[in-house]
Amino acid sequence: MSLKQHIPNAVTLLNLFSGCIALIFAVHGNFVGAAFFVFLGIFFDFFDGLLARKLNVQSPLGIQLDSLADLVTSGVVPGIIMMKLIALSVGVNDFITFEESWTATMKWTSFKVFYTPLIGLLIPLASAYRLAKFNLDEDQQTYFKGLPVPANTLLILSLPLILEYQNNDLMNSIIINKWFLIGLTLLSCYMLNSSVKLFALKFNNWSFKNNATRYIFLILSIVVLVILQFAAIPLIILLYILLSIFDQNNIN
């Protein structure tokens, strides 16, 4: 096996490494740090497939490794972040609190579990199911069935970034609303595994006629990002879904 065959897999492992660091940040409630390393992981996730195609070294191992890395970076991390946000919305720090310290026998003597925040962990479950289906579906080469896990991750990560950097009372009140977060969790789980065809940002040529939907999406996304900053991300994901629905007959 030549050295170049290992290059894409090494980049995939960098995705997983970034996801592991993001997970540590997320567990400790540092959403900005988690977001940075998730974005870094998604960057590596984009380039591992690109390198594999350019070097002509695609392999079944690389496909499975890519999904395992994505499950952490774009599945578990957004699930933990959603769990933390729901906990915040119901006025607790986490889904479990220890009311007394550990005993000498290393057993806790009292703890309390809050079940509502655990709804956020449906996201890793839905992401795992979506990734497993993707690996077995040979049709999804030029389009996606359901929302890709990185897109769903960007949607979830945008929420704490809006809270942190935009400081808008209306946005904050919507985001820190238990029913909004639970509804968004259930909707994202459904969209991850829906049968709706969504276009992929892969250009076979630069013709506007053949790529009109992609060009319109990219242009509108840039405009909205400049105007709304992090608050644009949910709108961009919504725009992506709507444009795909309107263009169903041309997605293949």
Domain locations in the chain? 3-195, 201-252
User: Is residue 71 very low, low, confident or very high in pLDDT (cuts 50, 70, 90)?
Assistant: very high
Whole-number percent of the chain with pLDDT over 70: 90
Give the residue-averaged pLDDT of 103-109. 54
Give the residue-averaged pLDDT of 65-83. 95
* Residue 220 confidence (pLDDT) above 70: yes
**More confident of the two residues 50 and 78:** 78
- Sign of the C-alpha dihedral computed for residues 54, 55, 57 and 61 taken in this order: negative
User: Is residue 236 very low, low, confident or very high in pLDDT (cuts 50, 70, 90)?
Assistant: very high
**More confident of the two residues 1 and 180:** 180
Q: What is the pTM of this model?
A: 0.88
Q: Determine the pLDDT at residue 114.
A: 77
The mean predicted confidence, pLDDT, of the chain is 87
Which spans in the chain are helix H?
7-27, 31-54, 60-71, 77-89, 122-136, 149-165, 169-175, 178-192, 212-228, 232-246
Q: Determine the pLDDT at residue 158.
A: 96
Low-confidence winner among 58-67, 178-187, 215-224 (lowest mean pLDDT): 58-67
Report the C-alpha gap between 25 and 37 in whole angstroms.
9
Report the C-alpha gap between 213 and 31 in whole angstroms.
33
Among 146, 140, 186, 161, residue whose Cα is nearest residue 38: 161
Per-residue pLDDT reduced to its tens digit, 124-147: 999 999 999 988 877 766 788 999
* Residue 208 confidence (pLDDT) above 90: no
For strands 111-113 and 197-199, give the pairing.
unpaired
CATH number among 1.20.120, 2.30.29, 3.30.200, 2.60.40, domain 3-195: 1.20.120
Q: Determine the pLDDT at residue 111.
A: 66
* Residue 101 confidence (pLDDT) above 90: no
Which residue is listed with tokens 């992981």? 41
Q: Determine the pLDDT at residue 191.
A: 96
Per-residue pLDDT reduced to its tens digit, 148-177: 999 999 999 999 999 999 989 999 999 999
